[in-house]
A = this chain, B = another copy of it.
Amino acid sequence: MKNLFLTFNLLFLLISCNKEITNSVFVKNSSELNDAIKNAKPGDDIVLKDGVWKDVEIEFSAKGTKDNLITLRAETPGKVFIEGVSNLSFGGEYLVVSGLHFRNGYSPTVNVIAFRTDKNNVANNCRVTNCVIVDFNKLERDNDDLWVQFYGRHNQLDHCYLAGKTNGGPTVRVDLKGIESIKNYHKITNNHFGPRPRKGGARGETIQLGSSFTSMSPSNTTIANNFFEECNGEVEIISSKTNFNEIKNNVFYKSEGSVVTRHGNYTMIDGNYFIGDGENENYGGIRIVNTGHWIVNNYFYKIIGENFRSPLAVMNGIPKSPLNRYNQVTDVVVAYNTYVDCKSPFQFGVGTNIAQSAVLPKSEIRSARPIRTTVANNVIYNSVEDKNVIVEHDKADGVLFKSNVINNNGADFKDSKRIKSANFDLNKISDNIMLPNISSVDVKPYNGFDFDLIKTDLAGNSREKNNAIGATVKADITNPNILDRSKYGATWFKVDAIVEGKTIKVSASDNLSEKINSANKGDIISLDAGKYIISKSLIIDKNITVQSASENKAEIVFEGAENTPAFSLNPYGILTLKNVKLSGNGKNQAFASLKEKMSNHFGLSVSDSEISNFNYVLKAYKQTFAETVTFKNTSISNCENGIELSEETNDRGDYNTEFLTIDNCTFNNVKQNVIDYYRGGYDESTIGGNLLVTNSTFTNCGAKEKNKMLLNHRGIVNVDINNNTFKNNKVQFVSILWGAKNNVESNNTLINSGKINTEENLVMKLMY
């Protein structure tokens, strides 16, 4: 249920700001809208008629005043749908847009919402509120855009819901090129940043503040009171690249990334919640580069990410770094944070690559350790002993540790110079908030330089009297209900609940294609035993399961044309195929993405099935992406090519799937590209993809493989090949592992097959 109070509050705000609404203009189409904008005067209230507005480019150029804003709003908040090839731009002052829902379309320009109309006309004191943008993606993944781009000064995005961006480019970005956009004091507040799927490579940030080229500029942007949920686009959720930004009181919930001070300096990261689950290692915390940041009053729960994704990752810099690389960390303060059940929360020298000097230019070697950095007054609690609380990838000898305390629930913590061991328990405030009860622990907070400016704690309580270490001065606070979605985003918008799918029984005499097309997302197509002869591709454009009704495998025989797939994986097409025999004519494909316009991700999970006689088992085309591709308990035989995910050859760090999992499968007589999974371009901070090959048997495969390698996974960062048998595969190598990254193998049996080698340092093309 949405919070009515908020709605009233917002209305009140709008009314109270518009002291004198002089004119309400109701518009029904673009032409009326343009006229209304053209004639807008301070105090005007332009009301868009409810309904779908298709292919509209709204250029909101007008001049309101502080006391008499000009508003452009939906007749009913949430009932005005901006669709098709549409966008919105602001030029002027004191303008407000509210209540719009962008969906079923994309922008014709690089922004869905831009706070300028052109280079010479930026917006100031303008606001987007109570709006929604969902899946408003360009058709191709490499056609980058930015949904909301800030220019000018004092603009605001608040109480909006944004989710589902799959193409390249941060969801929200602040631009600082030009003096008209510095010291901007923009506000990004009270928004709900809903799921942003993994992008597969860089350029998937949820918020980016500036760029390295403006990293010397004062931005003074505030990101506060937002809810980030499953923001998994890439390794950086928020990438702060300018100076004096504030990131306060946000909730990062199950988001696969970190808040990163990538460029620029003096960021204040204060009073945020980072909530993980103790299982997913991709949920990160705060990663620090550069000078003068303050990380205070933050709460970390079950964040078990390592290295770049650790709760506190303090990087090594490059001495005298080029502008676009890594400056040394200096003058940073990490104080009054609480870490509960995190893994190795303090990591230093992250990103050190001194060992790779042989393959990297000198200007790439991160050897400059943090200096003049203080870690003080932090509290760590571990239900289960953490043996490596502090990880030093390189020495933390430039870091001053003061008044840090741990209850490690295990053997006494030995590193008492840096963290003092103590006994204390937790107060449960909510499922995810457990606050250390450290009142009994006699540790006086360290009073570092300017620490007196930290006036309140995570809960807003004063630190002036009765100060204490940790994120809160006391362990009994009112439950802040951080997961209550009604507190964030548009008042009128509710994320669709997941509907339980129904089962649709299909027999061999039915038109399988029609049955799939008419099914709803989440439905299960249950196939009676028998032979399903298919001549045209089955279109998968939603989440759907196709499985045999009984143990007896239904047989799908695909007689479609050369290089067309039995299952055509369209945008949103997530196929689960279970317990099915699937065969082709040797020239067509079992599964393939579209060749173009894959405006959203696909997915594939195959289990307990038999696949044979295809040219390709899976063919993923360029600019397509699946979060997961899984084959389990499945035999694949007599195919010209296997699983082909190697089209991202532009070497910009992109790849075609985040997770490729092969478990307990048999590959027989797959002639080439048995597994072909590629990532090109070296970018140390993007950490994918993931290849797991386990308990599988590969026999007589790779005969036609030109590069004489059975499993091709060049550039993939996480590779685990274990418990497999490789027999009679005429290749030189079964695999070449990238030793410097997370590539491992174990317990593999190699009979009359190539070798598995490890190459410590792979020579890669630098991305920048």
Contact = CB atoms under 8 A, between A and B. Distances in A.
A446 to B, nearest CB: 14
A216 interface: yes
A278 to B, nearest CB: 35
Given A216-B216, A321-B323, A182 B363 contact: no
Contacts of A217: 265, 291-292, 331
Contact of A327 (B216, B320, B330, B363): B216
Contacts of A177: 330, 372
Interface string A297-334: 00000000000000000000000111111010011010
B363 A218 contact: no
Contacts of A678: none
Nearest to A449: B180
A292 B322 contact: no
Contacts of A216: 216, 243, 264-265, 290-292, 327
A266 interface: yes
A378 to B, nearest CB: 18
A49 B327 CA distance: 51
A69 B218 CA distance: 35
Interface string A258-287: 000000111000000000000000000000
A292 B327 contact: no
Contacts of A290: 216
Describe A's contact surface by its main secondary structure: loop
Contacts of A325: 320
Contacts of A212: 320
Contact of A292 (B182, B333, B363): B182
Nearest to A363: B363
A333 B291 contact: no
Contact of A266 (B180, B218, B323): B218
Contacts of A449: 178-180
Interface in A181-227: 182, 212-214, 216-218
B322 A179 contact: no
A450 interface: yes
Interface in A443-463: 449-450
A236 to B, nearest CB: 20
Interface string A143-187: 000000000000000000000000000000000011110100000
Range for the number of chain A residues in contact with chain B: 20 to 34
A178 B449 CA distance: 10
A321 B290 CA distance: 16
Interface in A16-63: none
Interface in A230-267: 243, 264-266
Contact of A322 (B180, B214, B320): B320
Given A216-B265, A216-B290, A292-B217, A179 B331 contact: yes
A179 B292 contact: yes
B450 A179 contact: yes
A121 to B, nearest CB: 12
A376 to B, nearest CB: 13
A117 to B, nearest CB: 16
Interface in A387-433: none
A331 B322 CA distance: 20
Contact of A324 (B180, B243, B265, B320): B320
B372 A178 contact: yes
Contacts of A320: 212, 322-325
Nearest to A180: B449
A182 B218 CA distance: 15
Nearest to A182: B292
Instruction: Give the most central of A216, A218, A264: most B CB within 10 Å.
Output: A216
Contacts of A331: 178-179, 182, 217
A176 to B, nearest CB: 9
Contacts of A321: 322-323
Contacts of A218: 266
Contacts of A266: 218
A86 to B, nearest CB: 30
A48 to B, nearest CB: 32
Contacts of A213: 330
A118 to B, nearest CB: 15
A449 B181 CA distance: 10
A180 B330 CA distance: 13
Contacts of A180: 449-450
A747 to B, nearest CB: 46
Given A217-B292, A265-B217, A179 B323 contact: no
Contacts of A323: 320-322, 327
18 contacts: A178-B331, A178-B449, A179-B292, A179-B331, A179-B372, A179-B450, A180-B449, A180-B450, A216-B265, A216-B290, A216-B292, A217-B292, A217-B331, A320-B322, A320-B325, A321-B323, A322-B323, A363-B363
* In the complex, the 8 A-B pairs of residues with the closest C-beta atoms, listed nearest first: A320-B323, A320-B322, A180-B449, A216-B265, A320-B324, A179-B331, A216-B291, A322-B322
Given A182-B292, A320-B324, A363-B363, 11 more contacts: A179-B331, A179-B333, A180-B449, A182-B331, A213-B330, A216-B292, A217-B291, A218-B266, A320-B325, A322-B322, A322-B363
